């Protein structure tokens, strides 16, 4: 069976990066039963990620990383997701954020170097904490209920954040809060070991359970003024290519479903047939449909990533392209996993097979930003201009 992801590896450097992703994928795959059951992120998987120096890859070379391109980032993420989508999505936020901070220079040089040094030397892991129970997705707007109140030369931050992937094992949180004295929304870099910082186990979802996206609770956390690292809206809005790690993750899940379905079809032979079901016409039709859907999705994803890497002068105009990739790839991934389930039949519903977990996990892609309706409106607006 061909490795659909490896076909996008082009040179020796990418071959080396692909092998790193493969090691992580195998480790993550070995823990999926427990992580899915318990809604926890595997400590051992994170340990292997750090051993492979995965968290620092997207840093510039001069800051201890490998200046990972978007194209490289996506095939590594997809490969890890083939092993476990939850592991890929969780660490993808960290790599993407480090890519964003280094390329867009959203922070002061001192603040960026402070975080980058810990990532490079200790493989520290960070994520943004923006979503809240009342405001929902930050992409929809809304003022955070988390508040930062000035006290002498410090800020006191209090609030609750939801959907904080791998929250219990992060080293830092980049937390959005309404800064009362500035009357602005700001972002604070908060060390997990500061007093008043805790996580509360609330993650009980249908799919992507292994992201352990529990609540982050901040109870009068005292932070320094320099920990206010970013003011929302001060930087010029830019399309964020790194967010393509989201569709890459769900494409990896779909590729895993395709692989399992093809293997199942080649091996399963009911006593009503004198050959495996791979010889049955309608099964071959479903396999063929999976193939052309995946070929289209891979081509759209990686062609767009290559355009981002090779034509930086066009990035400001690529917002609709990036959004269209997310919409197309995540919806295609859902269609592919559905076809895999149809090939497996009733056995696909059993936890003895991987299909039902892949089916639950892939659906989460429809709820990651940007949402389908927002993308369609964006594309319509572009056409109507």
> How much is the pLDDT for 137?
63
pTM for the whole structure:
0.96
Range 241-268+275-384: architecture per CATH: Up-down Bundle (1.20)
Alpha helices in the chain (DSSP H): 12-29, 32-38, 43-51, 70-83, 85-104, 109-122, 245-267, 281-310, 319-344, 355-363, 372-384
**Residue among 243, 265, 373 nearest 319 (CA):** 243
> How much is the pLDDT for 141?
63
Q: Is 125 exposed, middle or buried (0-12, 13-18, 19+ CB in 10 A)?
A: buried
Domain 128-231 has CATH 2.40.110.10: yes
CATH fold group of domain 6-124: Butyryl-Coa Dehydrogenase, subunit A; domain 1 (1.10.540)
> How much is the pLDDT for 300?
98
> How much is the pLDDT for 45?
98
> How much is the pLDDT for 1?
65
> How much is the pLDDT for 235?
79
Token digits of residue 40:
């926890």
Peptide bond into 178 cis (omega under 30): no
Q: Is 145 exposed, middle or buried (0-12, 13-18, 19+ CB in 10 A)?
A: middle
Judge if 6-124 and 128-231 fold alike in CATH terms: no
CB 194 within 8 A of CB 187: no
> How much is the pLDDT for 237?
86
Ordered by start, the domain boundaries in the chain are 6-124, 128-231, 241-268+275-384
* Pairing of the two strands 126-129 and 172-179: parallel
> How much is the pLDDT for 136?
62
> How much is the pLDDT for 3?
86
> How much is the pLDDT for 260?
98
> How much is the pLDDT for 142?
74
For the chain, residues with pLDDT lower than 70 are 1-2, 136-141
> How much is the pLDDT for 140?
60
Length of the chain in terms of residues written = 385
């Amino acid at each position: 069976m061909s490795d659909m992801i490896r076909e996008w590896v082009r040179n020796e450097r990418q071959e080396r990066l692909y092998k790193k992703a493969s090691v992580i994928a195998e480790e993550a795959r070995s823990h999926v039963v427990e992580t899915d059951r318990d809604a926890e992120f595997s400590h051992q998987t994170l340990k292997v990620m750090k051993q492979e120096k995965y968290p620092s890859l997207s840093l510039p070379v001069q800051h201890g990383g490998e200046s990972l391109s978007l194209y490289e980032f996506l095939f590594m993420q997809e490969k890890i997701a083939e092993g476990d989508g939850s592991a890929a999505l969780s660490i993808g936020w960290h790599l993407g954020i480090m890519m964003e901070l280094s390329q867009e220079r959203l922070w002061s040089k001192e603040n960026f170097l402070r975080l980058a040094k810990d990532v490079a030397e200790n493989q520290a892991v960070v994520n943004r904490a923006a979503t809240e129970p009342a405001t929902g997705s930050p992409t929809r707007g809304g003022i955070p209920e988390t508040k930062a109140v000035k006290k002498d030369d410090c800020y006191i931050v209090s609030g609750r954040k939801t959907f904080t992937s791998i929250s219990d094992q992060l080293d830092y949180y980049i937390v959005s809060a309404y800064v009362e004295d500035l009357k602005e929304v700001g972002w604070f870099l908060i060390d997990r070991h500061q007093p008043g910082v805790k996580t509360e186990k609330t993650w009980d979802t249908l799919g992507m359970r292994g992201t352990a996206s529990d609540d982050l609770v901040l109870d009068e956390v005292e932070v320094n003024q320099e920990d206010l690292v970013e003011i929302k809206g001060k930087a010029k809005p830019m399309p964020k290519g790194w967010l393509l790690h989201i569709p890459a993750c769900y494409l990896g899940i779909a590729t895993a479903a395709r692989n399992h379905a093809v293997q199942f079809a080649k091996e399963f032979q009911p006593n009503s047939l004198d050959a495996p079901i791979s010889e049955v016409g309608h099964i071959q039709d479903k396999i063929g449909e999976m193939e052309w859907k995946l070929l289209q999705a891979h081509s759209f994803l990686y062609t767009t990533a290559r355009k981002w890497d090779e034509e930086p002068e066009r990035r400001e105009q690529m917002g609709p392209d990036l959004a269209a990739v997310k919409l197309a790839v995540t919806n295609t991934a859902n269609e592919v996993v559905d076809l895999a389930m149809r090939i497996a039949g009733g056995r696909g519903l059993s936890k003895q097979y991987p299909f039902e977990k892949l089916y639950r996990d892939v659906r989460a892609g429809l709820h990651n930003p940007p949402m389908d309706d927002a993308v369609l409106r964006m594309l319509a607006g572009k056409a109507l201009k």
